[in-house]
Structure 1
Amino acid sequence: MSYDTRAEYKDGMAFDVDLGGHDLRVDAGTDHGGRNYGPTPRSMMLAALSGCTGMDVVAILRKMQMPYDSFAIEVRADSADQHPHVYTAVTVRYLFSGQKVEREKVEKAVTLSLDRYCPVAATLRHTARIDYEIVINQ
């Protein structure tokens, strides 16, 4: 399986990226010569992790037939002090609410995602420790 993207330089530090027909502008913050027109490439890595593991968890819990009222993901990451400032530690928080949320099923879905299915997590794991928390409000 292969993927193609195209990034076209706009101005400052901004690029318009075509991701298989989906357009996105990436930029740097003003402190790095950009104008903050879009997310930074580094923050997009965390967004990719959120989406990747989130989709896995939804699919797995659907197969387990476990209902929930809401589901959100928060990701926090620390990076190295030296260039290239790779992520060294990532914490993923899975936030669920619902009367019928079962911790054991959520735990299984999360571990399957992070350890087996999510290619973004597998890629990040080369430089970062990935931890997770599960928060359930019933």
Structure 2
Amino acid sequence: MKISLERKNDHLLFEGKSETGNTVTIDGAPANGGDDAGMSPMELLLTAVAACASFDISLILKKQRQEVKSLKVDASGTRPEEGQVKPFKTIHLHFKLTGTPDESKVARAVELAVEKYCSVASSLDPQIKVTHNFSIEN
């Protein structure tokens, strides 16, 4: 797997491009010299954890023939307020599903996805506490 990253202005605006040509815009906050014209690297990391786990949940539930009409995730992370380096201390993922899936199957799928199968979460520092929960609306 490879990506390329190119600075697009004289501030902090970058474009990331995958080998397949997909792109993502990355920028910093004005307080850091950016223009808020894209997601920050830390927002991308949080998004990557949420997306990775969501892919796995979707695949597990599809394999089990569970009816899921939509899946959304609210992801939040806490970071220290002081210091030069501010890594995530905690990440929480709340999965919101609609449809009529079996609740026990959703619970197991969420647990497996976040704690076992998500490659992004597995790539994080083990000191980062990743928690999760879910809700189902019919």
Specify if TM > 0.5. Answer: yes
TM-score, normalising length: structure 1: 0.91
Structure 1 position 45, deviation (Å)? 0.4
Within 5 A, what are the aligned runs for 1:111-130?
111-130=111-130
Report the Cα distance in structure 2 between the residues aligned to 1:74 and 1:110, rounded to whole angstroms: 14
**CA offset digits 1:97-116 (Å, max 9, x no partner):** 22x22111001111111121
Question: Does structure 2 retain, via aligned residues, the 8 Å contact 1:28–1:39?
Answer: yes
Within 5 A, what are the aligned runs for 1:93-108?
93-98=94-99, 100-108=100-108
Report the Cα distance in structure 1 between the residues aligned to 2:54 and 2:37, rounded to whole angstroms: 26
Unaligned runs of 5+ in 2: none
Question: Does structure 2 retain, via aligned residues, the 8 Å contact 1:75–1:92?
Answer: yes
Report the Cα distance in structure 2 between the residues aligned to 1:7 and 1:26, rounded to whole angstroms: 9
Within 5 A, what are the aligned runs for 1:1-138?
3-10=1-8, 11-20=10-19, 21-81=21-81, 82-98=83-99, 100-138=100-138
Report the Cα distance in structure 1 between the residues aligned to 2:98 and 2:24, rounded to whole angstroms: 31
Query: How many pairs does the alignment contain?
Result: 135
Other structure's SS at 2:71 match: strand
Question: Does structure 2 retain, via aligned residues, the 8 Å contact 1:13–1:27?
Answer: yes
Whichever residue aligns with residue 131 of structure 1, its letter is: T
TM-score, normalising length: structure 2: 0.91
Report the Cα distance in structure 2 between the residues aligned to 1:104 and 1:125, rounded to whole angstroms: 29
Structure 1 position 47, deviation (Å)? 0.9
Report the Cα distance in structure 2 between the residues aligned to 1:133 and 1:115, rounded to whole angstroms: 12
Unaligned runs of 5+ in 1: none
Percent identity of equivalent pairs? 22
Whichever residue aligns with residue 19 of structure 1, its letter is: S
Report the Cα distance in structure 2 between the residues aligned to 1:90 and 1:48, rounded to whole angstroms: 12
